[in-house]
Amino acid sequence: MDHQQKKVLSYFRFRKIIIPILLGLGVATFMFVRSFDREAFTGINWVWQSYFFIFMALLMMVVRDVGYMYRIRVLTDGQISWRRSFDVIMLWEFASAITPSIIGGSAIALYIVNKEGVSMGRTTAIVLITAFLDELFYILMVPIFIIIVGTQYLFTTEGEYIFFNTKFGTQGIFIIGYLFILVLTSIIIYGVFLNPRGFKMILLTVFKLPFLRKWRKKAAETGNEIIITSREMKGKPVIFWIKAFAGTFFSWTGRFLVVNFLILAFVSGGDQFLIFARQLVMWVILLISPTPGGSGVAEFVFSGFLGEFIPQGLTPALSLMWRIISYYPYLFIGVIVLPHWLKRVYSKSKKPGQIISVPSENNTEKPV
């Protein structure tokens, strides 16, 4: 087993998988016991609409994953087949589920996509562009839903968050998060689509400052990645970007509609646009979660943001059901897919009597 394979497998150790499961189930159980209401459960009226909307919630997870699979095929110009794109997305989601939300699974995604036969330069471009498209979806959706629902009911009064040693409410942390995403996306647009070499020079100049100098090498690598991404994506037709964003749109819309359909399974009516909009705010909170996959934090935030739309006593149960549908499956599917994927990608590159040669982390394409 080579060094790179060992390093990737270290991310998928048993303790890294069991920690988010225990965190999530622990918080969900605590909240369930604390607010248990027998009457709320006995009062559930199981009608055909309940089963239909639960089915729709499950279907939205399929839409989410198919959208991601379609996007990865578009970004690789069809180099990765539908079958292999399933492995890539499941392992990508698996990695995201067992790493803190603020870190994400991008580092492992680079390895996964590269091992599917995509060059390291193109892999770097693909991972960066997927992040760009995700942020772009968010930037566009927020103002649309603010226009639809307004700000009066969008934010909750519950919860305080510490940022730079200052306390912020949900509205404050949302504004900070949104502005950060806006600035980050603007930087990517400038670096990738307008002036990649100029962006690298700005980075290197900034990191000449004494207190930043120790990270200058990393800044140079980031600048190289931006130049590589620009080269890979330069000249792509408009239809390429339309297809890539369409996959992003369906994926994220499906992700959010899971909650809408779960609530509809037990509550008729309700402001579905507001429920969807509240999830946009939730996503910023979960984005800065220090726990793997937002475990523990997600269950708590769900109750705070969406509890008013659910009968009292049912919120913790619906929170757990939401995570069972949208989070835990990736842990179990990932465990199943990973060994078969490793066997496939390494066996196809190994010839009889030949030692497998795998590019090291530093063996990236350098811009000229």
> What pLDDT, in 10s, does the model give residues 173-225?
888 889 989 998 998 899 888 899 998 898 888 888 887 788 888 888 888 88
Residue with tokens 């009066």: 152
* Length, in residues, of the chain: 368
Q: Identity (one letter) of the amino acid at 238?
A: V
Q: For the whole model, what pTM was predicted?
A: 0.82
Which residues of the chain fall below pLDDT 70? Answer: 1-17, 19-20, 24-25, 27-45, 101-105, 156-168, 289-296, 348-368
Tokens of 150: 């307004």
pLDDT reported for residue 358: 38
At residue 81's C-alpha, the angle toward residues 358 and 343, to 5°, is 40
pLDDT reported for residue 362: 42
Q: Per residue in 255-304, pLDDT tens? A: 999 999 999 988 877 789 999 999 998 888 787 766 666 666 777 788 88
pLDDT reported for residue 204: 87
Helix, strand or coil, per DSSP, at residue 128? helix
pLDDT reported for residue 58: 95
> Any alpha helices (H) in 150-288, and if so which ranges?
170-189, 196-206, 216-233, 238-266, 272-287
CB 258 within 8 A of CB 322: yes
CB 291 within 8 A of CB 314: no
pLDDT reported for residue 355: 38
C-alpha 142/C-alpha 179 separation (Å) is: 12
CB 327 within 8 A of CB 293: yes
